Every structure is written in structure tokens, then in C-alpha cells.
Structure 1
Amino acid sequence: MSSKLNRIVQMDMLIRAETYPSVANFKARFEVSERTIYDDIDYLRSTLRAPLKYSRSRGGYYYSDPTWVLPAIMATEGELLAFFLSAELVRRYLGTAFEQPLRNAIEKLALSLPQQTPIDLSELTQHYTFQPGATVSTDPLLLTDLSEAIVERWRVAMTYYTASRGERNERVIEPYHLYNVRGEWQVIAFDHLRNQFRNFAVSNIEQWEVRRDERFIRDTDFAPDRYLAQGFLTEHGGSPRKVAIRFDEYQTRYIIRREWHPTQSIEHHDDGGVTLHFRTGALDEVRRWVLGYGRHATVLAPAELRAAVIADLRAALASYECDESQMSSADGS
């Protein structure tokens, strides 16, 4: 039985016994993080439609409808695995060149587990909707070509649009790794133009040619996890710096439920807020991310990041004040 399935079943038993278990109880019992428990609770509510409620007076969880039972999809590990993988398939790959190979792999994997029943993956997709927000459209043929080039160690020539500078240039890359962040595909590659590893937004590759007659020698020291740990979201950045961001009580409830960076640690405060600590060189990306939280986030370190955020906020305020003045003049006329 998978670890997640095991937790869900045991959590259901504890809740059904009307012991009003708390997050702390679950965390101690299963020896997992608080974030994992909250993810399980969200899974019970959102995916399994459990009538799960929290009692402030009892300090724990209960079912508002005691007749509710876990759905049949929880019957076997194979079914659960097929469900999870199918949901991920729908969210990431539906309509791309990867869809059919992944569907075939899921079916084979599910059937390899004991006590299997036939699973109609197309029927599963009718009952779940994923709305990831403002995703970026990517040519599935380009993803397929890049994936093949990574495996076969082929160089790729491309016309790349650098959005930050509004420039297009010709590049030759040696692709190493594909990853998806916030719905946008990125490829990590050795860039011959800059003579270093960089990550490129796949959607900004306007033209490409896989040079199947040019194989490159893979750098055995390259590790995707180590490369990504130096950056933040879509930006790689320079030398890692210590970053500290203070979130107020309101924003804390959302911040603590996610892993924002592999190096992160969370410092809790008496007022209900937290300070998120991590190391990254992608300070521009952190700046844009922090600004999205408005008054609920305050940069504590490093000093140059704090100054950059303050400058952006002052410029935004000045822009609003200018607009207000123009609107007042227009109203007066």
C-alpha cells in the first residue's frame, strides 16, 4: 500500500472514530511534515469530496456527514496509482505529443499491480478539471524534439527571443533537462553563445533544428537538482544569496503549505506570521514574486533586494498618484 494511501485510510479511521484528531496528531502519528498533512486534508476535501470540517471547540477534524465513506477508487493501490497519474497527465500533457505514450505507460503500470480491475482513463478525465492559470502555449513537436535531443545527445540550433531585452538571436545549445514551472516549460542547456549552462523558456524558441549529425559529450558533473536549487522559479540567477521574507498572519496560511525552494526553512513568530528563509541567486525573480503579495510580504534580506522592492513600490505609488491627478483634472473640466 502506498504511503499516501496508507495515511488517507488511517486518517479516515481516526476521523470516523470521532476522536477529533488535529494536524499535530496526524503529524506525530505518520512522522511527516505539516505541509504533507495539509495536502492530505485538501485531497480528502477537494478530490474525494469528504465532508471534512474543523471543530474549534474540540480542536480537531470530524465528518459533518458520518455516513460518508471513501469512494471505490481507493479499493486497490493500482487504481489509486492510475488515478494520480491520470490526473497529472490531464494537468500537464493532455493534447500534447506526450499524451498517448504516457497513457500507455500508466495502463501497463496499473495492470502490473495485484487485484486490478479495468480502468477507463478517458472516463476519469471527464470528472476533473485543472485550471492552472495563465499557462504558456508550447509546440508539442518542439517538446518532443528537445526530449529526443536530450536522450540522444544531439545539439539544437534555434532562434531564441529574449523577452527581458526584446531581442532575437541565433544560438546552438546542448540540451540536458526539461522542467515545468507554473505551466511553462523550460529547458536547461549548455549555451554555446554564452559558454555556460542556462535555462531557456521553450515558448520563446521560435525556430529550431535538431542537428542529428552532431552529438555532444555530456558533462558528468551536471546535476539538474543542484542547478535548480541555485535559482528561483523560472530564473537561474548568479551566486546564491541568503534571502529572508517576512509574511504576515494572513499570508502565512498559504505560504506554509508549499515548498517554494529546496533550501527553504520557515521561522514562526508569535504574531502568527512567518519568515521564509532560502538561498538563491535569482533575485530579480524573487523581487517579482514578492511584489505579487503586496503589503502581506516584507523583504528582510538581502539589502539590495529590499531596496529594489521599495523602489518598485514607490514607482507604482507615484504612477497611481499621477493617474489620480489626471483623473481629477479630467473630472474638473
Structure 2
Amino acid sequence: MNRIDRVTAILIQLQSRKVVKAQDIADRFGISLRTVYRDINTLCEAGVPIIGEAGVGYSIMEGYRLPPVMFTREEATAFLTAEKLIEKLTDNSIRESYQSAMYKVRSVLRSSEKSLLEHIENRIEIRQKPLPPGLANAKHAFLHPILQSISEKRSLQVQYKAFNKEQSTDRLIEPIGIFYAYDCWHVVAYCHLRLEYRDFRVDRIRNLHLTAIPFSREHPLLKEYLQQNASNRKLQTVVIEVEKTMMRYLETQKYEYGFVDQTEVGDYVEMTFFTAWPEAILRWFTLYAEHGRIISPEALIEQFREKITRLYQSVALPVTV
């Protein structure tokens, strides 16, 4: 990227946030802080009203705006791809807001970029696993009020149906963030019922209401909480061995179970996992058990023997009428 393009991009970045740190600009463009200072000075000399505060960052004086920017073909394509992802992986509230934003983005595109999007729009498809019955046609729009709760620091009243529970429970929660994993959205929140932070699956929320009750405490950032939570877990080392011919089926699945390393041993591949839930690895390994073995820990090997015995007994013993 040449200097003119970089300075223009820095100006757009400054308009995208209330305050932008010099280090964030340096990290984005791979330049030194000295170069950042020179580029900011160039913008100031060009008449851009930039306010700089030591230890805080840069901001643009309220009211200053550039005219609508022109997007490149690659940026326009990225917007379209993001639209497809949001359409499939979010709820109605986020989809409708993003579609409204996309109309505004499309309105400032050049004719050639508009033609490009129209040409490839039906050539990008996001496939996902079918939703469970009852959720496939769900009209709930919970992500937006959850984010509103976080932004305004107002508690949520939710009706939540936990896994393997017949009845839903009413909970007052204080969300700290949302994340997407294992084909569903999660909200991490302080739960007043359990008096601790909990991970709630959004698809198990049956009802939700944004209250006027303010948060009762200062909460950690989501990233900090997840990192701290992971470090507090008692991780166990699990080692399994499978035939090389089976690896094509396992390559994309192993990362869901804490995979860290693998080594080829003859006709087998030895895989090592760090996990807080060795039972989950056991259930997964059972699918491929005839093509491998558990090496350690011994307790998991014993659990596997018991599991196989129960499975054998369930199919071998005669059914009494």
C-alpha cells in the first residue's frame, strides 16, 4: 500500500471509532509509531481537525465527515460474503439491521461494483447443519436485545431451558458478551439465580425481556473472561491412536476436542489432546474405536471398557416380554 492510500485509510479508520490509538494504526498497517505520527500530521496539514491526547489516542472533531467513500471490488465482494454469513448464522434482529446497512452500502457503489454483486450474489452459499425441530422456524430475535443489554448495562429477564431439563427457569442475568461456537450462539452472563457467571445457549432461551434494572457490578471483558475461565479449568492430557486411513475423517473434527499435536507411528497416528472434558473425547472416539485405541489416561481406558461392556450387554442379552 502506497502512502496516499494508507493516509486515506487512516482517515477512514479515525471516522470509524470515537478514539483510535496510535498503536492500533501501527499494527493494522505494519508501520512504526513514528510513521503514524507523520501520517497524522499530514492529515492535520490537509485541514482534517484531528484531536490527539497523550495516552488516550486520536479522534476527529465532532461534525467532520468525509463524503461517501468508494469501495473496491474486493471490499464489495467481502460485504456480500458477510451478508450471506449473517443471513444464515444470526437471528432476525441482526439480519434485518445488516440488510438495511447493505442497502446503504450498495447505494454508494459504482455501477461496475453493483453489476459485480448482482452477478455473484447467487454464486455464494452458506450451508449449515439442520436446526432441531421447533427451532428451524423460530422467529425469536434475541441477539439484538442481548447486545443492547450489554451496551446500556441493563439486566435481562430470561426464561431458560437447560439441557436435559423438563422445565424452564426464570433468570435475571447481566450479559458480558456473545460468541458463536459449535453451530450456535452463546451469551456469557452473571446469573443472579446461580450467583456466578454462566454460559447460556441462545437457542435455549424461550423468552427474553430487557429490564430497567442496572448491572449490579463491573464485569470483565468477554475475551478476558474466556481466557481466565480456560486457565482455571483442570485440563487433562488424553492420547489416542488411530489408523492413518481414518485421518481424513478426523482432521476437521479433532480441533473441537482440544487437539494439540500428532505423530505418525507406523500405520497409525498418535494424537494428543488437552481437555477439561475427556468424556467428550471418549464419545467421539467410540465412533472410530475399531480403528484405534486409547493410550492414556488409564481412567479413560477403564471408562471405555465399561462403556463397551454396557453396549454389548444392551444388544446381546435377550429381551424379556
Contact 1:160–1:169 (8 Å) recurs in 2:
yes
Q: Unaligned regions of 5+ residues in structure 1, if any?
A: 2-74, 231-236
Equivalent AA in structure 1 for residue 260 of structure 2: S
Query: Which residue does 2:198 correspond to in 1?
Result: 198
**Residue 89 of structure 2 is aligned with which of 63, 88, 92?**
92
Structure 2 equivalent of residue 226 of structure 1: 227
**Highest CA radius of gyration, 1 or 2?**
2
Is the CA contact (8 Å cut-off) linking 1:172 and 1:191 kept in structure 2? yes
CA drift of 1:211 comes to: 1.8
The equivalent of 2:163 in structure 1 is 163
TM score, norm. by length of structure 2: 0.61
How many residues align? The count is 246
Which whole-Å CA distance do the structure 2 matches of 1:121 and 1:229 have between them?
41
1:210 aligns with 210
Match of 2:98 among 87, 90, 102: 102
**Which string of whole-angstrom CA distances, capped at 9 and with x for unpartnered residues, describes residues 15-74 of structure 1?**
xxxxxxxxxxxxxxxxxxxxxxxxxxxxxxxxxxxxxxxxxxxxxxxxxxxxxxxxxxxx
Counterparts of 1:120-159 in structure 2, within 5 Å, are: 124=120, 126-136=122-132, 137=135, 139-159=139-159
The CA distance in 2 between the partners of 1:114 and 1:277, in whole Å, is 52
Give the equivalent residue in structure 1 for 2:12.
Answer: none
For the residues of structure 2 that align with 1:109 and 1:246, how far apart are their CA atoms? 51
The answer to whether the 8 A contact 2:154-2:174 is kept is yes
Percent identity between the aligned chains? Answer: 16
CA deviation digits over 1:82-124, x for unaligned, max 9? Answer: 343234234313x622113223555767899999611676875
> Displacement of 1:224 after TM fit?
5.0
After superposition, the Cα gap between the structure-2 partners of 1:311 and 1:111, relative to the gap in structure 1 and judged at 3 Å, is farther
Q: Is the 8 A contact 1:243 1:280 kept in 2?
A: yes
Q: Deviations over 1:101-159 (max 9, x none)?
A: 22355576789999961167687553444442243425532222222222222222223
The two structures have a TM-score, normalised by structure 1, of: 0.59
Is 1:269–2:264 an aligned residue pair? Answer: yes
Contact 1:244 1:299 (C-alpha < 8 Å) held by counterparts: yes
How far the C-alpha of 1:199 sits from its partner, in A, is 0.9
User: What is the CA–CA distance in structure 1 between the aligned matches of 2:107 and 2:291, rounded to whole Å?
Assistant: 48
Q: Deviations over 1:205-242 (max 9, x none)?
A: 22332223323433236525416756xxxxxx952222
Which runs of structure 1 show a deviation greater than 4 angstroms over 4 or more consecutive aligned residues?
A: 104-116, 119-125, 227-230
1:82 is matched with: 79
Change (3 A) 1:78 1:208: closer
Match for 2:195: what amino acid?
Answer: N
Structure 2 unaligned blocks of 5 or more: 2-71
Conserved? CA contact 1:78–1:110, under 8 Å: no
Further displaced range: 137-146 or 147-156: 137-146
